[in-house]
Amino acid sequence: MNLIGNIIWVIFGGIFIFFEYIIGGLILCLTIIGIPFGIQCFKFAIVGLAPFGVRIKDTSLNTGCLSTIMNIIWFIFGGFWIVLTHLLFGLLFCITIVGIPFGKQHFKLMNLAFSPFGKSIG
């Protein structure tokens, strides 16, 4: 079922999300300061391409307070808009019964966009 969901996801816009996050990650990696944020964009790209069957795990216990500081910087300088975008698309997809699984995936991406540092995908 995850394979079918991922194929439909890619056909109806997942490929665009993937390329947007890849391009954003490459641009952020051009500067030394932006490399940690670029790596987070690559994390988004992986989940954005095939979100069905992907689990997001909290690993903030291993990173200490650095992940909290990085999450605050992330949220202020762009994460807020990513969260709002995934919230809007999640709500729009949940209007119909057929779109609910896709809305849930946007809510998963919204959770990751809110605080990407200290989380791993698997």
**pLDDT at residue 62 greater than cutoff 70:** no
Residues whose CB is less than 8 angstroms from the CB of residue 66 and which lie 6 or more positions away in sequence, other chains included: 117
Tens-place pLDDT, residues 4-57: 989 988 888 888 888 988 998 999 899 899 999 899 889 888 888 889 988 888
Which tokens in the block code for residue 66?
A: 């650095």
Per-residue confidence (pLDDT) for residue 16, from 0 to 100: 86
The DSSP code sequence of 19-39 is HHHHHHHHHHTTSTTTHHHHH
With a threshold of 0.85, does the pTM exceed it?
no
Domain edges within the chain = 2-121
**pLDDT at residue 64 greater than cutoff 80:** no
**What are the beta bridge partners of residue 119?**
58
